[in-house]
């Protein structure tokens, strides 16, 4: 499996930055295909809960994940600044709905750190790295693998060969 790990000591990493629920997140630009204006999705029956639907982007059907929901912080894309970042990981292409596309940054190696040990030791893996910025909130570098794993975990499970039962993404019992 290809990794979206941020090379902690590599100064040549560029990050596309997005706002989601008031927080700035970064994704390695090598995984970004393009960023498009937000648009309505067409729902997929019995799809994983985190896939809000699909869009038709120049003849390609792209599944869209609400990044705020995947990160457990509400819903993204409530206004005219909302965008869909089309990303690719392990030959999978999907969209991430975000509140806004903010910037592209090239952080110096000295400003990039591993996530706090307390978080990683407790199993937290949504963030690959933290970029410190002078007089601004840090940028949290996302793990696309974690996002995909969250989507997979939100898939409905079949119960006794019958109708699908939704997996809960909030840690509760299935619905």
Domain contains 62: yes
Mean per-residue pLDDT of the chain: 85
| Residue that wins the pLDDT comparison between 124 and 132 | 132
How many C-beta atoms surround the C-beta of residue 147 within 10 A?
22
CATH of the domain at 105: 2.40.50.180
| CB-based contact 5:95 (threshold 8 Å) | no
- The pLDDT tens digits for 17-71 are 999 999 999 999 999 999 999 999 999 998 999 999 999 999 999 999 999 999 9
| CB-based contact 50:70 (threshold 8 Å) | yes
CA distance 146 to 125: 7
Return the percentage of the chain with pLDDT > 70, whole number: 81
**pLDDT value, residue 67:** 95
| CB-based contact 100:81 (threshold 8 Å) | yes
Domain count, the chain: 1
Domain contains 169: no
Task: Indicate whether 124 pLDDT > 50.
Answer: yes
Domain contains 144: yes
DSSP assignment of 66-125, as one string? EHHHHTTS-----STT-EEEEEEETTEEEEEEESEEEEEE---GGGEEPPPHHHHHTT--
Average pLDDT score over residue span 96-103: 96
Whole-angstrom CA distances from 149 to 12, 31, 45, 131, 145 are: 27, 16, 20, 23, 6
Domain contains 4: no
| Residue that wins the pLDDT comparison between 1 and 150 | 150
What one-character DSSP code corresponds to residue 30?
G
- pLDDT-derived band at 12 (thresholds 50, 70, 90) equals low
Domain contains 161: no
Average pLDDT score over residue span 76-102: 92
**pLDDT value, residue 165:** 55
Provide the Cα torsion 88, 92, 98, 104; round to 10°: -10
**pLDDT value, residue 117:** 85
pTM of the shown model? 0.81
| CB-based contact 54:94 (threshold 8 Å) | no
| Residue that wins the pLDDT comparison between 65 and 124 | 65
Query: Tokens for 126?
Result: 């949504």
Domain of residue 69 covers: 15-155
């Amino acid at each position: 499996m290809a990794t979206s790990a941020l090379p902690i000591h590599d100064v040549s990493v560029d990050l596309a930055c997005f706002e989601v629920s008031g927080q700035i997140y970064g994704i390695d630009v090598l995984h970004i295909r393009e960023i498009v204006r937000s648009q309505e999705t067409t729902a997929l029956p019995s799809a994983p809960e985190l896939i809000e639907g699909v869009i038709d982007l120049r003849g390609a059907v792209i599944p869209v994940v609400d990044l705020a929901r995947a990160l457990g912080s509400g819903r993204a894309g409530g206004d005219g600044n909302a965008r869909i970042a089309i990303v690719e990981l392990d030959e999978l292409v999907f969209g991430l709905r975000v509140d806004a596309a903010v910037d592209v940054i090239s952080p110096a190696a000295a400003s990039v750190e591993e996530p706090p040990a307390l978080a990683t030791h407790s199993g937290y893996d949504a963030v690959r790295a933290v970029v410190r910025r002078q007089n601004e909130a840090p940028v949290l570098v996302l793990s696309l693998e974690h996002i995909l794993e969250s989507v997979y975990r939100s898939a409905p499970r079949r119960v006794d060969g019958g109708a699908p039962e939704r997996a809960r993404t909030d840690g509760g019992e299935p619905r």
